Structure 1
Amino acid sequence: MTGRSRDLGIVVGHLPTGRHNAITDVAGVRVGHHTVRAGDGPLVVGEGPVRTGVTVVEPRPQVWRSPVFAGFHRLNGNGEMTGLHWIRENGQLTTAIGLTNTHSVGVVRDAIVARLHRERGDDELYFHLPVVAETYDGLLSDINGQHVTAAHVDAAFDALSAGPVPEGSVGSGTGMICHEFKGGIGTSSRVVGDHTVGVLVQANHGRRGRLRVNGVPIGERIPTDDVASPFDAVVRSARGSGSIIVLIATDAPLLPHQCERLAQRGALAIGRTGGSGENGSGDLLLAFSTGNDGLPRVGLVEPGPDEIPLRMAGNTVINGLFDAVIDATEEAILNAVVAAETSVGRDGITAHALDHDRLRAAYAG
């Protein structure tokens, strides 16, 4: 099943979208996926079945040459996103962002370091602290087999594109579940005056009964008695466990504290769609701004200059950016579910797609 929420007549908010209605509508941002899918039947650790992958989001080409300001927000912390201490301290994002499953964070991080080393070379002393975030795909995939490799990360880099972004069960979203339907990758964008805000989510969170679309109680109208939950197959499973990663990009010239404010507003969209930051969920949000050029590369030897002229958006435009983040995040979550296809994973556990006709009927009431 493919498609997007707007194909079904469901529109979130009133702001216009960018050309692709995707995070790549922010100039310079590129996204690449690599999907790892193999095997069927009973789980054999190390052999499969495998339903996982890697997604890479690049803020701008060779971002280590010209970092971007960034800020972070934690709704609930049962998850991992590497590199955050330096972002909090320095306010800058200096690498591409990797997304994957919980037990593959290390290999993705190391592969990004190796990739950046090949780009950068040995001409100076430097370090990389990549941002890599995860959600848990072990309900469908052999997560303990650690099937993601450095070659898969390179394949995601090689697939980087500034065009439309594939959604649903692709890349790092391959094995993800959202509100007890099949979930995965979703994206959306909004235009506010001269500025664009784009969002990409890895949606692997939420309980069925809480799912809302534009405030309509879709989860109550399509309960697990009608469309089974993959959690039904797991004894003592905690519904709502999983996590969501939200990446927010904008070309508005924001400083780090303003990026953090945008990241906070993304959490409101998680709540609007029914997420409650459950104890078993890692709900992590990172916002970055490409609106300032010329920030010097970060290394063991700082190249200068001693003073750097910057641009900062005034508070006259910030409310519009908040609205854009909330609406784009809500639509990105919905797109992740609408685009996803039914997936049968390890031990025959099935994550059902949200049927488009049933969604239309439930939305209409």
Structure 2
Amino acid sequence: MDKQALDIPRIGVLPSGPLDSICDVGEVTVGHRTLAEGPLQTGVTVVRPHGGDPYLDKVPAAATVLNGFGKSTGLVQVQELGVLETPIALTNTFGVGTMANAQIRAAVAANPGIGRGMATVNPLVFECNDGYLNDIQALAVQESHYADALAAADKPFEQGAVGAGRGMSCFSFKGGIGSASRVASIQAGPQYTVGALVLANFGRLPNLTVAGRPFGRRLAAQLDSGLAQAGENAAIAPEKGSIILLLATDAPLDSRQLRRLSLRAGAGLARTGSVFGHGSGDIALAFSTAYTVPQLPEQPMPAVAMLHEARIDPLFEAAAEACEQAIISALWHADGVTGRDGNQRAAIRDAAPQWRQWLSDTEF
């Protein structure tokens, strides 16, 4: 289902790209492999930065760790060298090693000299813990699922309880994959697009804020006694979830500027009600599709005119707004799921069918 069909709350004032997703940027595509059978509620999501081989044609990138309670792999080299050299994989916490192996095998298959005459490859995998709905101890994610997700990568893609988002929870409801884009106009210059994709698995219901409104508090008050009590307990319980925030832009930024852009994902996250809690792994990564960096030293380095620092603020605004919208999109797209031991997460749009009225209520 698309945003228009679902009538998802519209965040902010900036225009969206035609898809209102991360795939509005360059050649970026997204693919999923979903596992949904009984206690196995998990999967893999892959983001391809371009249609070629990112090991040979690397993409400038940088990351920000907002709160480091996470088990991602590959971030150290991204921070040191400022490039991506594999697609980005998202999965559950116990699937990180499997996905890293799958990325290495795929890169070696395409470039047999890796680790011999050529440099090794840096797999890049992000995770969230889906253990409430998914039997995470079953280690259900396999290397073949990475290949499936990679093969499925396309411009249009599903959001919500799919791929890596299948077993994720958000503000006590069903979370998962969400995406959005915003178009930034640079003064006396061109327009650039910033796209966001999130793996949303965080938040306490009373803190949920939608378009600046205290949506979670009102929703908790409207629920039946059992869920209302859960909302009250959540108000004093520590935040234990996580979120991965990916940003893509076609603006010509270097890795230092991309680190600054990735930091603004935290502004969008905070607007939805997150405080980057102790037990939450909140990591943002930004990359640019404006140019690539060659693996082979005999190939020329790109000659790119970077965006002047004094003109970067519109991109910061677009990044914050796109991330905020992507989180709301994950919540509104996600269908309810029953998983391990009968644990359930309901769809927020089913729990609050009157949400349009709430957001238009001047006394809210």
TM-score by length of 2: 0.90
One-letter amino acid of the structure 1 residue matched with residue 118 of structure 2? L
One-letter amino acid of the structure 1 residue matched with residue 68 of structure 2? G
Deviates more, 1:333-342 or 1:74-83: 74-83
User: Residues 134, 18 of structure 1: CA spacing in aligned structure 2 closer, same or farther, 3 A cutoff?
Assistant: same
- Measured in 2, the distance between the counterparts of 1:208 and 1:198 equals 26
**Which of 188, 191, 196 is the matching residue for 2:183?**
191
Q: SS of 2:264's equivalent?
A: helix
Q: Is the 8 A contact 2:334 2:347 kept in 1?
A: yes
Q: Is the 8 A contact 1:253 1:292 kept in 2?
A: yes
Which residue of 2 is the match for residue 59 of structure 1? 49
Alignment map for 1:4-153 (pairs within 5 Å): 4=3, 7-8=6-7, 10-39=9-38, 49-61=39-51, 62-122=53-113, 124-153=117-146
- Measured in 2, the distance between the counterparts of 1:37 and 1:7 equals 23
- Measured in 2, the distance between the counterparts of 1:273 and 1:259 equals 23
Is 1:362 matched with 2:353? no
- Measured in 1, the distance between the counterparts of 2:50 and 2:77 equals 19
Percentage of identical aligned residues: 38
Structure 2: 5+ residue stretches without partners: 186-190
| Alpha-carbon distance, 1:314 to partner | 1.1
One-letter amino acid of the structure 2 residue matched with residue 310 of structure 1? V
User: Residues 336, 307 of structure 1: CA spacing in aligned structure 2 closer, same or farther, 3 A cutoff?
Assistant: closer
Q: Is the 8 A contact 1:197 1:249 kept in 2?
A: yes
Q: What do you get for the CA RMSD once the two structures are aligned?
A: 2.3
Alignment map for 1:194-343 (pairs within 5 Å): 194-223=191-220, 226=223, 232=230, 238=237, 240-293=239-292, 295-297=293-295, 303-304=297-298, 308-343=302-337
User: Residues 239, 230 of structure 1: CA spacing in aligned structure 2 closer, same or farther, 3 A cutoff?
Assistant: farther
Q: Is the 8 A contact 2:32 2:46 kept in 1?
A: yes
What whole-Å deviation, never above 9, does each CA across 1:39-93 have from its counterpart, x for those lacking one? 2xxxxxxxxx100000000111211121111111111110122111111111111
Q: SS of 1:67's equivalent?
A: strand
- Measured in 2, the distance between the counterparts of 1:259 and 1:267 equals 14
**Which of 181, 184, 194 is the matching residue for 2:173?**
181
What whole-Å deviation, never above 9, does each CA across 1:214-271 have from its counterpart, x for those lacking one? 11111011017716669959x9995531100000000100001100011100001111
| Alpha-carbon distance, 1:337 to partner | 0.2
Which residue of 2 is the match for residue 43 of structure 1? none
**Which of 350, 360, 363 is the matching residue for 2:344?**
350
Deviates more, 1:4-13 or 1:237-246: 4-13
One-letter amino acid of the structure 1 residue matched with residue 357 of structure 2? A
User: Residues 208, 215 of structure 1: CA spacing in aligned structure 2 closer, same or farther, 3 A cutoff?
Assistant: same
Q: Is the 8 A contact 1:206 1:240 kept in 2?
A: yes
Q: SS of 1:309's equivalent?
A: coil
- Measured in 2, the distance between the counterparts of 1:284 and 1:5 equals 29
| Alpha-carbon distance, 1:5 to partner | 7.4
Q: SS of 1:60's equivalent?
A: coil
Deviates more, 1:281-290 or 1:84-93: 84-93
- Measured in 2, the distance between the counterparts of 1:173 and 1:5 equals 21
Which residue of 2 is the match for residue 45 of structure 1? none
| Alpha-carbon distance, 1:291 to partner | 1.2
| Alpha-carbon distance, 1:19 to partner | 1.2
- Measured in 2, the distance between the counterparts of 1:270 and 1:100 equals 20
One-letter amino acid of the structure 2 residue matched with residue 201 of structure 1? V
Q: Is the 8 A contact 2:168 2:176 kept in 1?
A: yes
Q: SS of 1:355's equivalent?
A: helix
